[in-house]
Amino acid sequence: MTKRTVYRIPPCPIWDLEATESWLGDLAKQGLHLKRMHSLLDFAAFQAGPAQPTRYRLTADSRRGGLTNGPQPDPEAVQLAQALGWQYVDRCGGLEIWRTDDPAAPELNTDPALQALTLARMNRQTLGQMAGYLVQLLLNSLFFFGSALFWVQGGPILMLAALGLWAGLPILLGLAVLWADCGLRLWGLARQRRKLAHGRELDHKKNWRTGKNRWWVWRGTSAVLTVAMLASILWLQLGSEAAYTRPLEESAFPLMPAPLAEELGAEPKLRPEYNTDQMTSHSDPLFTYRQANQWADLRTAQGTITLAWDITYIRTATPWLSHQAASALRHARRFGAFSRAEVQTVSGLAADEAFTWNNGFSTVLLLRRGREVALVQLFSHYAGDTADALPLDVWAPLLAERLSG
């Protein structure tokens, strides 16, 4: 007769060795004996059988591995444990789970230093997991923008502006939950390590019921936010281009090449081989975000100027947000070609903040006025000349005046 399999959601985290061992022992007294525990999916499978007093112990993984289920433990470790009356059950969360039905069987680990080894190894694995989340964020940003470090360096304000509130907020909250989960684990491990450092044994019969409801609320909240984060990432990868890409409207920006040429008394001729006639644009209660670029030839009395114009325009709900966005854009320059750029303050413009630098290819101007921020990169050269054909003092006042504030 096949024995029935029963599933349970753990009422405590796997890294709380005391509570987990106590919970597994209590279920064994009810006739539920652990078959498998999965930390990633957060469930445990039990085999129904006769009720009996059973001790469970969680020890450091005897083989290298991550925080999820993996291969069998080291054969020598299994033989040693069996000689002491213990049987291997499963591997979970960087831990090996052992059980014994013999009340006379000696403890697997009686040395606090060995028990501390278990916690120290989990601590290192947790730090590695946190680093993995950061790498994942960088890779996702690279996929979205093609310039991952620039946007990530800008911090949450700039990411919310660029991604949009409804896509960016779930990603930021989901990432915060993942990091908070790692932080809770580090805190819990540190508490148990301090206990061992003071020569006190772990409480294998800890009352796991006291924190059960808090843990389940936390796991439910983190699960919802993690799913929302994954859904946002999937949408950004599959549907954001169609949702965010619109036909280019020059009126959507404070200044573009054609109005600039008109102000300068020049005749603009767009270069269709470089222009897409599209812009990135989205709006939500906090941010209106637009980005576009154009190539044009400006025919002036002095000759034809080749002009490449890239503009990022952000309008925010409050001046405080615009200040934060401008600061983020200014600090994000430190990556790539921006890293060696010397930022200079520009005075005499109709703006609350004005900064400029050269990225090695073009002149960059960052302006903030009221709730509006504009970042313009301008390449302007006469044929065969490497000097800027349009000095900053020619076009910067025009851009500043067109920001409404």
**Can you give the pLDDT at residue 56?**
95
> Which pLDDT band, with edges at 50, 70 and 90, does 342 fall under?
confident
Tell me how far apart the alpha carbons of residues 221 and 215 are, in angstroms, rounded to a whole number.
10
How is 214-230 classified by DSSP, letter by letter?
HHHHHHHHHHHHHHHHH
**Can you give the pLDDT at residue 260?**
87
Compute how many other C-beta atoms are within 10 angstroms of the C-beta atom of residue 353.
17
For 163-188, what is the mean pLDDT?
83
Beta strands in 16-162 (DSSP E): 32-38, 43-48, 55-60, 87-92, 95-100
DSSP class of residue 211? T
For residue 38, give the nearest of 96, 99, 91 by alpha carbon: 91
The residue ranking higher by pLDDT, 134 or 220, is 220
> Which pLDDT band, with edges at 50, 70 and 90, does 110 fall under?
low
**Can you give the pLDDT at residue 145?**
46
Q: Which tens digit of pLDDT belongs to each residue from 140-165?
A: 555 554 444 444 556 788 888 888 88
Q: Where are the domains of the chain?
A: 5-100, 112-242, 246-402
Q: With 90 as the cut, is the pLDDT of residue 316 above it? A: yes
For residue 155, give the nearest of 178, 137, 170 by alpha carbon: 137
DSSP class of residue 334? G
Q: Which tens digit of pLDDT belongs to each residue from 10-44?
A: 999 888 989 999 999 999 999 999 999 887 778 89
Q: What is the end-to-end Cα distance of the chain in Å, rounded?
A: 78
DSSP class of residue 306? E
